[in-house]
Amino acid sequence: MSKRAATRSTGSDHQEPSTTKESRYHHYDQGDVFSSASNIEIHQKVCIQEKPYCCDQCGKRYAQNSALKKHQLIHTGENRYRCNQCGKSLFFIGNFKAHQRVHTGEKPYQCVECGKGFTQNSYLRQHQYVHTKVKPYQCDECGKSFAFNQTLKIHQRRHTGEKPYCCDQCGKTFTSNSNLFIHKRVHTREKPYSCDQCGKSFAISSNLKHHQRVHTGEKPYWCDVCGKCFSLNVNLMHHQRVHTPIKPYLCCQCIKSFATRTHLKSHQRIHTGEKPYCCQQCGKSFTTGSGLYNHRRVHKEKKKFT
């Protein structure tokens, strides 16, 4: 007996997930949404018939006993598959194979619209919404729309301040498990994304993409006022303040204002006396990286005459 057949018997179709206030009844095990409590009760009975194997730890149900046993590895902490490249352990063979593609660079799932490749089919499905523009899940607070309900839930934590994912090494908290996963590389020093031009490694794939523009010379972000191009959008945004008098970062010591937070921090070292940039040759310290860079030229000039 299917889920759709069960709901039809009550005269109500099984509805698609929605973020409207009318859809109050959720089956949290599967993420399904129903218009009434009676519909979800009927649906739960169907689930028990179709998925008789229940986890005694969290209540999640499965159609096959083998699937339940795989799931229970999450609770026991047993890691069956270990990556010989970085040492990471994974519960399932599918996840293990997908992880290995991080190291090999293999991207077998390709978008038919633009040709972009992905390591996992789920990533491809998410990407395809870029072309369809379908974003049915909308935030009640700011109106921003999302292609996936889970992405909306993560976004809503920005408004609520909720950060349920905590690092067991330093206690830092995050809005999503993926952000926690990336953060943990700070402690493990894992950098799985490597540049094929110079060998430099990165913890995040987006940082590798930004770095590769150093080699390609690509500068996709350009200023519509003066035409200057930049490799990063953040650099463009900083540059655009040159054309406007806005300097939102104010020094509380002398009331001097700056266009960027970085420039403010550099300026504040004048008041604190902090000099974090140290010359390894003579030990002289500087408040800014540019000051150290200019100083190093002194040593280079001396070498020319010795």
Give CATH for domain 81-188.
Answer: 3.30.160.60
Domain positions in the chain are: 3-76, 81-188
Residues present in the chain in total: 306
CA nearest 201: which of 209, 189, 211, 193? Answer: 193
Q: In the CATH scheme, what is the code of domain 3-76?
A: 3.30.160.60
Does the pTM surpass 0.85? The reply is no
Nearest-angstrom CA–CA distance, 258 and 57: 54
The answer to whether residues 110 and 128 touch, using CB atoms and an 8 Å cutoff, is no
State yes or no: pLDDT of 279 exceeds 80.
yes
pLDDT at 130: 81
Residues 6 or more apart in contact with residue 259 via CB below 8 angstroms:
238, 241, 242, 246, 247, 248, 249
Domains 3-76 and 81-188 share a fold: yes
Give the DSSP letter string of 203-232: SSHHHHHHHHHHHH----EE-TTT--EESS
Per the model's pLDDT, the better-predicted residue between 159 and 77 turns out to be: 159
* Cα gap 152→137, rounded to integer Å: 7
Q: Are 148 and 159 spatial neighbours (Cβ–Cβ below 8 Å)?
A: no
Residue 234 — pLDDT band, cuts 50, 70, 90?
A: confident
- Spatial neighbors of 163 by CB under 8 A, at least 6 apart, are 157, 173, 174, 175
Q: How confident is the model at residue 1 (pLDDT cuts 50, 70, 90)?
A: very low
Confidence of residue 99 (pLDDT cuts 50, 70, 90): confident
